[in-house]
Amino acid sequence: MEPIHRNPTRRVLAGGVVIGGGAPISVQSMCATPTRDVEATTGQVQAMRGAGADLVRVAVDSAADARALGEIHERSGADLVVDLQEHYRLAEKVAPHVAKLRYNPGHLHHHERRRPMRDKVAWLAEVASAHDCALRVGVNCGSVAPEYSERFPGDSVAAMVACALDHAEMLDDLGFRNFVVSLKDSDPDKVVEGNERFAGERPDVPLHLGVTEAGLLPDGEIKTRIAFEKLLAQGIGDTIRVSLTLPNERKREEIEVGRRILDDVANGRFRSVPRLTGLNIVSCPSCSRVENDRFVELAERVRDLTRYAEGHDVTIAVMGCRVNGPGETDDADLGLWCGPRYVNLKRGTEKLGHFGYDEILPVLEAELNKLIGA
Ligand code: SF4
């Protein structure tokens, strides 16, 4: 495989994996098993490593998850990454066991609101330094802090880029340089624009590329390719994650798809890039936050049910949990997110109610028909 031409970014060290600085583009994914289930999570980490994962991310939402992490690390020997979305204070407990910590500035904003953002970031940088961890500033278009959406009304990409630039500058000022940045959305065009703009301002900072909630195969791979081909061809991107809605036993395919895209780009094999007009079904890759394992089946049934609307420009988002579902569905025409017993439904930003897993599809169909005038 030919090496892909790369922008000269800084060298970031995450355990045994070098990101940026000319190192090969690393591939990572995220476990969807409950983290406290050590057996299942270790199995999934190993399956991903077997498929060629350089880093494997797990979610930690409780002290029990944090305790399990130590054992998962010991048993798997993998370079792990932890997503601190809702519980940044757990960083201290998980840092000894991981190579990288990811924080989402939007979520950090909502925790300990009286504490200045810079203090929270400084604390995270201190914890990361003490344990030789890297950090990822993971900005998502769907969850930027309100100050940025207010500064850039109607321009979610500008809000995302401004937030990422501020955090990169903050970490630099704090003397912490072992960090990467990601700017993600479920719309590949926004991912391309956001990463191009950030790389234009900060060509030195390594970038983690990803299209969130890319959804089911084959569309999920196509959407991801659209973004990755355009960015990698410009030398943008130092590590990648492909997010697909897959059952647990097939999660390793995220790594296989990622490696395939890198191989194609390196060898000049660019696929035709379809425009995202028509019906667009967005669904998340699932993770340990899913509370009902009927989520993947629901995403598949939504895709099958809605095929008749293919000629219409409609986006339907299907999310696995109550943590990110409400926010991440905001840009969809119809949004669904799963709870333990009910599926929540909204049209645009208006909540329509929650319905049993066996009741939701006819309600969705009726709403879709109203949208397309059927
Ligand atoms: S939407 Fe929820 S379940 Fe899906 S990947 Fe994101 S955090 Fe996990």
DSSP string, 246-299: --GGGTTHHHHHHHHHHHHHHTT-PPP-----SEEEEE----TT-S-TTHHHHH
Q: Which atom of ligand 1 is closest in space to residue 328's alpha carbon?
A: 1
Average pLDDT over residues 345-363: 96
Q: Looking at residue 276, what is its pLDDT?
A: 55
Q: How confident is the model at residue 160 (pLDDT cuts 50, 70, 90)?
A: very high
Q: Which atom of ligand 1 is closest in space to residue 284's alpha carbon?
A: 4
Is the separation of the CB atoms in 212 and 284 below 8 Å?
A: yes
To the question of domain 279-372 being in CATH 3.40.367.20, the answer is no
Residues with CB under 6 Å of ligand 1 are 284-287, 289-290, 319-321, 323-325, 328
Quote the ligand 1 centre to 43 CA distance (angstroms): 20
Other Cβ atoms less than 10 A from the Cβ of 277: the count is 9
Pocket test for ligand 1, best of 212, 324, 330 (most atoms within 8 A of CB): 324
Q: Please identify, in words, the CATH class of the domain defined by 12-266.
A: alpha beta
Instruction: Kindly provide the b/e burial profile for residues 13-25, where b requires at least 16 CB atoms within 10 angstroms of the residue's own CB.
Output: bbbebbbbeebbb
Q: How confident is the model at residue 274 (pLDDT cuts 50, 70, 90)?
A: very low
Pocket test for ligand 1, best of 84, 244, 287, 290 (most atoms within 8 A of CB): 287
**3-state SS assignment for residue 222:** helix
Rounded Cα distance between 32 and 56, Å, is 11
Q: Looking at residue 275, what is its pLDDT?
A: 42
Smallest Cα–Cα separation from 183: which of 162, 153, 169, 204? Answer: 162
Rounded Cα distance between 19 and 229, Å, is 19
| Domain ranges (residues) in the chain | 12-266, 279-372
Give yes or no for residue 153 having a pLDDT over 60: yes
Rounded Cα distance between 216 and 214, Å, is 7
Q: How confident is the model at residue 226 (pLDDT cuts 50, 70, 90)?
A: confident
Pocket test for ligand 1, best of 141, 244, 290 (most atoms within 8 A of CB): 290
Tokens of 30: 């995220």
Average pLDDT over residues 163-173: 98
Q: How confident is the model at residue 272 (pLDDT cuts 50, 70, 90)?
A: very low
Quote the ligand 1 centre to 325 CA distance (angstroms): 7
Give how far Cα 174 sits from Cα of 107, 121, 169, Å.
20, 9, 9
Q: Looking at residue 138, what is its pLDDT?
A: 97
